[in-house]
Structure 1
Amino acid sequence: MNTIFSKLRNLDAYPKINEDFYSRTLSGGVITLASSIVMFFLFISEFRFYLHSVTETKLVVDTSRGETLRINFDVTFPALACSILSLDAMDISGEQHLDVRHDIIKKRIDANGNVIEARQDGIGAPKIEKPLQRHGGRLEHNETYCGSCYGAETSDDHCCNSCEEVRDAYRRKGWGLSNPDMIDQCKREGFLQRIKDEEGEGCNVYGFLEVNKVAGNFHFAPGKSFQQSNVHIHDLLSFQKDSYNISHKINRLAFGEYFPGVLNPLDGVHWTQKTPSGMYQYFIKVVPTVYTDINGHAIQSNQFSVTEHYRDAEFTYPQFLPGVFFFYDLSPIKVTFTEEHVSFLHFLTNVCAIVGGIFTVSGIVDSFIYHGQRVIKKKSEIGKFS
């Protein structure tokens, strides 16, 4: 009978667990506790990552056509008065926006940066009574006002009833208005007096431009602009100044709407002019960008990179124009950012990887410590009884 039972024991197909794997030790308990804590915190971190969205980035060819580009700006000129500062925009298609005034606000600021006055662009003062008529006499009680354009009339019934209209007429002729005090409209509106009153002031200009989505430029410069023989010219004679300080600070410059994570490299940039006069140029590469949030709402915007260059008036070409110029070009590649949730399968895979990895590492550490302790203990016992 004993022989039969002995043979049955030999038929055991399920090997028993080694004693080393269920032997309880203090080091094993410490490692188990530490592993559980690490596993818990990694699980919480992975779960939070699962709850939050991730952003996927792609590069595609920009095939959009016929769109416009919105340029938002906020620039401060601490040494250039609002009365002489103008904004122009033009692009390679030939479209020009000279002396832009719509959607533009100017703030007069003093030497300390405090706001003196905020107003829509344009200068002028209330007209005095009985202005000079085109025929040379003063305006009578029942007479319609028609001011002289001082030789710049384009037709027999062309009237210039303000200083700005006289200047526009001169610009269309390609003439410069050298002495505004000789013009009745400018004299009674206090054109030069207004400029003298703003001497030493600065100007903060902010607003936006809507331009064609093609390469072009916009610039801030003193004087009113006009075209003469296909050359862009600014009328600086009226202001009777030899140099212009174009020191500036770009509070904000963005091409398009804001979206999460956007970085505009020119925000907060400040530049101080060291020479009497010059031209500061920014060369901008605009990258079309589409940001789609987790709810599927798409924001059409742009990112950009920039390089800078300063041209001193002493070393440049004769048609030098002092000012701050922004030349922009568009990249043919569009960047798309898409917010999306991590899939549950991805989350489950990461959790299994965390559990398996910690279990394996802790088992190796525990086995190393356990067998090390046993070896030390055996050597100690051998030395004790020898």
Structure 2
Amino acid sequence: MDAVAKRVRTFDAFPKVDSQHTVRSQRGGLSTLITIFCGLVIVWVEIGGFLGGYVDRQFIVDNEIKSASSINLDMLVAMPCEFLHTNVEDITNDRYLAGETLNFEGTNFFVPSLFNINNENDAHDTPEIDEVMQESLKAEFRLEGARANEGAPACHIFGSIPINHVKGDFHITGKGFGYRDRSNVPFEALNFTHVIQEFSFGDFYPFINNPLDATGKVTEDRLHEFVYVAKVVPTLYQRLGLIVDTNQYSLTEQHRVHKVGKDGRPSGFPGIYFKYDFEPIKLIIAEKRISFLQFVARLATIGGGLLILGGYLYRLYERLLLILFGRKYVEKDKERKTGGLLDNDVPVRHDGDDYKGY
């Protein structure tokens, strides 16, 4: 057994020092306790990270061929429904009368509390994976193409609009402005003050926050044009086999007030315009975990590095004490075991061939 122990000891890269050749001190014990405490904290953090996983974000080229999508809308416009015209037009020159699927409900106009009114929508944060998984409840509008109380002072517009998966725009204008219609809305009746409860693309997740949600614009100008430009990025959330395939978008705004020309007609078409374009990339946000072997290797690497760093810091601390206070202060409160060859307090005696210490 001793022979095996000797052979194994020859492969020890860090041979141990005999206890009789070591020196103990209060500072050394304190540094050991600090090193152990830091090691336990790091182990606790690593175990939590291993069990909780990490969030991986990747952009890839969207190789999925999509021909159709949808716009989910829930908003309130300060005009009677009978004066409004809704339409979708894209780069393929395909036009879709959104009024055929949207619902128009006459009501009184009001601004809900906590809505972001007349401010730039620059305070929006991308939803985290925990928030998305908690709020990923898919829904559908129960009504389609319904109309009620159209003569009321304001119009509640809600529903989903099928669109082509290409660049286009959805706009809300007054009848007779931009399109031929049987009736023309007088200038005095125009008012495109609006609040938006929901504006999203793709599958309808009513509880996921989007840049235009809970926003609005209030104006006193009759010929105001509001333009929202959205860059849509398909986004896939993954966690433990659960997949939420949705879209998020960045937003820019352009607003202007048209003038009335000499012919008595405005220089442009007032209204609310939502211009959109789908990006050719896809964002994948997935929760992943490292393997158990990687976890053990990380712990071993961190533990070894912590021990080496602790030793260097302790020697640096001893060197600073030596420079500042001298050797007497450094040697203070040190405990040295007796019986070693380096112990100067043990007398050494020579008797012939015998060599003994007393």
Alignment partner, residue 208 of structure 1: 160
Aligned match for 1:217, one of 146, 169, 174: 169
- Structure 2: state its 5+ residue gaps: 1-9, 114-142, 331-358
**C-alpha offsets along residues 192-251 of structure 1, whole Å, 9 cap, x if unaligned?**
xx63xx2xx3333222212111111111223389xxxxxx50548455453512122222
Alignment partner, residue 331 of structure 1: 279
**C-alpha offsets along residues 16-74 of structure 1, whole Å, 9 cap, x if unaligned?**
83889832221222222222222212211111111123333333333333431121222
| AA partner of residue 156 (structure 2) | N
**C-alpha offsets along residues 152-185 of structure 1, whole Å, 9 cap, x if unaligned?**
xxxxxxxxxxxxxxxxxxxxxxxxxxxxxxxxxx
Aligned match for 2:240, one of 284, 289, 294: 294
Alignment partner, residue 162 of structure 1: none
Distance 1:315 1:357 in 2: 75
Contact kept in structure 1, 2:239 and 2:286, CA below 8 Å: yes
Aligned match for 1:272, one of 218, 222, 233: 218
Identity %: 24
Pair 1:240–1:354, CA change in 2 (3 A)? same
Please tell me whether residue 106 in structure 1 is matched to residue 98 in structure 2: no
Please tell me whether residue 89 in structure 1 is matched to residue 88 in structure 2: yes
| AA partner of residue 338 (structure 1) | A
Alignment partner, residue 188 of structure 1: none
Distance 1:85 1:332 in 2: 34
Distance 1:25 1:222 in 2: 87
Alignment partner, residue 282 of structure 1: 228
Alignment partner, residue 23 of structure 1: 23
Alignment partner, residue 36 of structure 2: 36
User: For residues 357-368 of structure 1, what are the structure 2 equivalents within 5 Å?
Assistant: 357-368=305-316
Distance 2:306 2:23 in 1: 20
Please tell me whether residue 308 in structure 1 is matched to residue 333 in structure 2: no
- Structure 1: state its 5+ residue gaps: 1-12, 125-193, 226-231, 382-386
| AA partner of residue 210 (structure 2) | N
Q: Which moved more, 1:309-318 or 1:280-289?
A: 309-318
Alignment partner, residue 55 of structure 1: 55
SS state of the match for residue 158, structure 2? strand
Contact kept in structure 2, 1:257 and 1:299, CA below 8 Å: no
Contact kept in structure 1, 2:226 and 2:256, CA below 8 Å: yes
Distance 2:155 2:197 in 1: 13
Distance 1:110 1:210 in 2: 27
Distance 1:108 1:21 in 2: 91
Distance 2:99 2:320 in 1: 83
User: For residues 1-386 of structure 1, what are the structure 2 equivalents within 5 Å?
Assistant: 17=17, 22-77=22-77, 79-102=78-101, 104=103, 106=105, 108-111=107-110, 121-123=146-148, 195=151, 198=152, 201-223=153-175, 233=179, 235=181, 237=183, 239-257=185-203, 264-295=210-241, 297-314=242-259, 320-370=268-318, 376=325, 378-379=327-328
| AA partner of residue 25 (structure 2) | T
Pair 1:76–1:30, CA change in 2 (3 A)? farther
SS state of the match for residue 364, structure 1? helix
SS state of the match for residue 314, structure 1? coil
| AA partner of residue 122 (structure 1) | R
Q: Residue 328 of structure 1: CA displacement?
A: 1.0
SS state of the match for residue 188, structure 2? coil
Distance 1:16 1:353 in 2: 20
**TM-score, normalized by length of structure 2?**
0.66
Pair 1:278–1:27, CA change in 2 (3 A)? same
| AA partner of residue 88 (structure 1) | N
| AA partner of residue 202 (structure 1) | A
Pair 1:81–1:21, CA change in 2 (3 A)? farther
Contact kept in structure 1, 2:39 and 2:306, CA below 8 Å: yes
Contact kept in structure 2, 1:57 and 1:336, CA below 8 Å: yes
Distance 1:265 1:23 in 2: 65
Q: Residue 324 of structure 1: CA displacement?
A: 0.5
Distance 1:103 1:328 in 2: 18
Q: Residue 326 of structure 1: CA displacement?
A: 0.6
Pair 1:44–1:379, CA change in 2 (3 A)? closer
Pair 1:119–1:313, CA change in 2 (3 A)? same
| AA partner of residue 275 (structure 2) | F
| AA partner of residue 312 (structure 1) | V
Contact kept in structure 2, 1:263 and 1:303, CA below 8 Å: no
Higher fraction of helix: 1
Pair 1:358–1:303, CA change in 2 (3 A)? same
